């Protein structure tokens, strides 16, 4: 083999290697990096931790889907606005676990109304309350139930939401999950636990595919929205009356 042929062979091998690396990187960047993680370690610990949380349940009879979220999470709101209606349409048993982020070096990262609402949701597991709170502007949200601040029991519930995250994140991290929110957890057709750190829209379809949720849902008719709003308002009135009965006029 001449020196010229050797040079051509070296160039060919270099080009082939570069193309292979580029092709794999494109495949990883467009597909692999967005796929959910299948849990292979400490499945029982993760399931028990989820079950012990104060989740807000939709009460449907479909497959369970857990959504771990917090109030000021922009990517959480995008996912919930786009994807929750699809899982509701599929009658999934939606279980939302809101938590209060930890304070950072003495700086309070949550509001009093946020802490109070998280405590109320964890105690009463009200899915309508969670949705109403999520849809409302934080400044305009004025909860009528008992405040968490100054109440040892309810403050302990807020701390329990933080302890829940402190335990869950390492368990998921041990399985290779990069912690980003919302964390969406479900079981696939073979009952394996899967986790999507759904901070990017390219991840969304994997969850829908496993749980057979539609990719689109039709907007509710105006009359249906009016009926739903009336029912929600009535439910909140009942809740407020119950709170007043249980806690008295000075409980706010």
Cα–Cα dist 203/147, whole Å = 37
> What is the pTM (predicted TM-score) of this model?
0.76
Token look-up 């006029």 returns 249
If one counts the domains in the chain, the total is 1
- What pLDDT shows up at residue 19? 63
* Domain hosting residue 48, numbered range: 35-247
pLDDT in tens, 10-49: 776 776 666 666 555 454 455 556 799 999 999 999 999 9
Task: Say if 1 falls within a structural domain.
Answer: no
pLDDT confidence of 139, banded at 50, 70, 90?
Answer: confident
Range name among 52-56, 215-219, 224-228, 247-251 with the lowest pLDDT average: 247-251
Task: Say if 9 falls within a structural domain.
Answer: no
Mean pLDDT of the chain: 84
Domain CATH number, residue 79: 3.40.30.10
Task: Say if 20 falls within a structural domain.
Answer: no
Report the relative pairing of strands 93-98 and 64-69 from DSSP bridges: parallel
Helices then strands, each counted (H, E), the chain:
8, 6
Cα–Cα dist 149/94, whole Å = 29
Task: Say if 241 falls within a structural domain.
Answer: yes
Task: Say if 3 falls within a structural domain.
Answer: no
Cα–Cα dist 74/79, whole Å = 9
Task: Say if 18 falls within a structural domain.
Answer: no
- What pLDDT shows up at residue 238? 37
Residue 179, Cβ density class (10 Å: 0-12 exposed, 13-18 middle, ≥19 buried): middle
For residue 215, pLDDT over 60 is answered with yes
Task: Say if 66 falls within a structural domain.
Answer: yes
Task: Say if 210 falls within a structural domain.
Answer: yes
pLDDT confidence of 241, banded at 50, 70, 90?
Answer: very low
- What pLDDT shows up at residue 208? 95
């Amino acid at each position: 083999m001449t020196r010229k042929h050797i040079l051509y062979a070296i160039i060919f091998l270099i080009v082939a290697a570069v193309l292979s690396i580029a092709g794999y990187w494109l495949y990883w960047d467009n597909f692999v990096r967005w796929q959910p993680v299948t849990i292979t370690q400490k499945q029982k610990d993760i399931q028990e931790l989820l079950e012990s949380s104060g989740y807000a349940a939709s009460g449907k009879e479909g497959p369970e889907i857990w959504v771990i979220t917090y109030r000021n999470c922009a990517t959480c709101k995008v996912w919930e606005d786009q994807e929750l209606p699809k899982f509701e349409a599929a009658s999934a048993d939606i279980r939302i676990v809101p938590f209060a982020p930890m304070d950072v070096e003495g700086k309070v990262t949550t509001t009093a109304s946020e802490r109070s609402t998280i405590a109320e949701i964890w105690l009463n597991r009200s899915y309508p309350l969670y949705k109403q709170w999520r849809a409302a502007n934080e400044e305009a949200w004025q909860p009528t139930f008992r405040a968490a601040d100054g109440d040892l029991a309810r403050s302990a519930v807020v701390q329990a939401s933080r302890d829940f995250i402190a335990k869950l994140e390492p368990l998921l991290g041990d399985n290779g999950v990069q912690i980003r929110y919302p964390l969406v957890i479900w079981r696939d057709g073979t009952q394996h636990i899967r986790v999507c750190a759904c901070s990017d829209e390219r991840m969304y379809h994997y969850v829908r595919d496993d749980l057979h949720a539609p990719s689109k849902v039709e907007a509710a008719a105006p009359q249906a929205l009016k009926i739903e709003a009336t029912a929600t308002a009535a439910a909140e009135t009942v809740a407020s009356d119950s709170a007043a009965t249980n806690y008295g006029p000075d409980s706010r």
